[in-house]
Amino acid sequence: MSLIKSISGIRGTIGGKVGDNLTPLDIVKFASAFGTWLQAQKGKKDITLVVGRDARISGAIVSDLASNTLQALGINVIDLGLSTTPTVEVMVPELNADGGIIFTASHNPKEWNALKLLNDKGEFINAKEGGEVLALAESENFEYIDVDHLGEYTQNEEGIQTHIDKVLELPAVFPGIIREKRYKIVVDAVNSTGGIAIPKLLERMGCDVVKLYCEPNGQFPHNPEPLKEHLSEICELVVAEKADLGIVVDPDVDRLALVDENGELFGEEYTLVAVADYLLRKQKGVAVSNLSSSRALKDLALSLDSEYYASAVGEVNVVTLMKEKQAIIGGEGNGGIIYPELHYGRDSLVGVALFLTHLAEQGKSVSDLRRSYVSYFMGKKKIQLTPEINVDALLERVQEEFKNEEISTIDGVKIDFPNNWVHLRKSNTEPIIRIYTEAKTQEEADQLADDMIAKIKTLI
């Protein structure tokens, strides 16, 4: 089965059987559910949604099916066309819309697509709301509008430009000092909409851009998740072009990875660290990331007389805690930058602008900037359990075993040791405990995971 229904939307592979994959009937059903739910929330039929898509091959089909379905409910649709996830998030309130849908499967391969659901603030709907939409989809209790009251469909091609304008107008972004540096930057946008947005942003800041896979045709030339093993080409091209840095984004442009002038990865975890460094130097405040993100952000915040808090894993949880703590910067260790001065969503465009401003102000190379931060290394393993084992009870025994350490239980069990940490999370679909670790060396991180697996086996 390749159809995943979650609180944030529906995701699946194109083709196959209804209910098993993301078929036209599944798209229509889920768009109907969200539209009907939103009409009930607003207390009227005549509402407006903003939609936009990444460059996936299936994007136009999925967008047209969903948009036509929304119109059949009497909902007005403003279509941004080829866009980015953060652009749609910005444009929902900009256009005074009642919500939005982004058609993207983020970093998943090209056969995947998804509908991601936004409220009237341009933020992902929460768990309770998502559950209500899922229940409505299962009930199929929809009522479509008569022919005289169909929703209107309009196109808006200004979304990315408006987004860029808003980024460059931010008080913390200084295009002038970036322009003085005349940075030469290689961009790998995996042939999706980052190939439209990121070069335009960089050119507005006076950078020389070398494009690698910036044609938005949906033909991903490598695995679209911006991890080291997928990025050898841009690392080599940065060196060959004698560029100052490389920028990598995923298909919907909410994750940002950087490459230094030597062709070495800056580290996705450190995208957020560098941006937080810049902002917290200017204004003491609060930084937030999730429990599985690097300790480097906490170290940085405390070194700058600021505060740090960790949320449960998931963008919605990060945003909720950011609002509660009035954080000035937050995000996730996968390169997701959330800067509430613009909006509460992961945004590679604002991440690029803030990082380059910081780099220009510091007057350092990208590699020198990276060396200024303490290095941590992460490990990821899992332990397979038998179906009859009560995973929750097992995690409670782990918690008791390490009760003298600093422990968080807001999302599984995270144990903070003085020099490293381990985070245990159970799978929602199978008897597995996922084990995330971080330490000062890769060997230590991997050993910590192995030691925890051994300990768990003694507690079963």
Q: What is the pTM of this model?
A: 0.94
Task: Give me 141's structure tokens.
Answer: 């209790």
Q: What is the set of active-site residues?
A: 106
Question: In this predicted structure, which of 235-244, 338-347, 374-383 has the lowest mean pLDDT?
Answer: 374-383
User: In angstroms, how far is the first alpha carbon of the chain from the final one?
Assistant: 30
The stretch 126-138 carries a mean pLDDT of 93
Checking if the pLDDT of 1 tops 70, the result is no
pLDDT value for 8: 67
Span 59-88, mean pLDDT? 98
C-alpha 460/C-alpha 453 separation (Å) is 11
Q: Average pLDDT for residues 197-225, to the nearest whole number?
A: 97
pLDDT for res 350: 98
Q: Are strands 432-439 and 336-338 parallel, antiparallel or unpaired?
A: unpaired
The CA–CA distances, whole Å, from 161 to 84, 91, 166, 196 equal 11, 11, 9, 10
pLDDT tens digit sequence for 404-415: 999 999 999 999
**In the prediction, which pLDDT does 430 show?**
75
Dump pLDDT digits (tens) for 25-39: 999 999 999 999 999
Angle at 434 between CA 429 and CA 436, to 5 degrees: 150
C-alpha to C-alpha distances, 90 to 99, 102, 231, 328, nearest whole angstrom: 11, 12, 29, 18
Name the residue with tokens 């130097």.
281
Question: Going from the N-terminus, what domains does the chain have, and what CATH number goes with each?
Answer: 3-157 (3.40.120.10), 183-371 (3.40.120.10), 377-459 (3.30.310.50)
Exposed, middle or buried by CB within 10 Å (0-12, 13-18, 19+), for 193? buried
User: Among 193, 186, 254, which residue's Cα sits nearest to residue 225?
Assistant: 254
Task: Using the predicted structure, report yes or no on whether residue 457 has a pLDDT greater than 70.
Answer: yes
Question: How large a percentage of the chain has pLDDT more than 90?
Answer: 91
Please classify residue 220 by burial: count the beta carbons closer than 10 Å to its beta carbon, then call 0-12 exposed, 13-18 middle and 19+ buried: buried
DSSP H or E stretch at residue 102: strand 99-103
Q: What is the DSSP letter of 115?
A: E
Looking at residue 387, its pLDDT comes to: 85
pLDDT per residue over 237-251, tens digit each? 999 999 999 999 999
Share of the chain above pLDDT 70, in %: 99
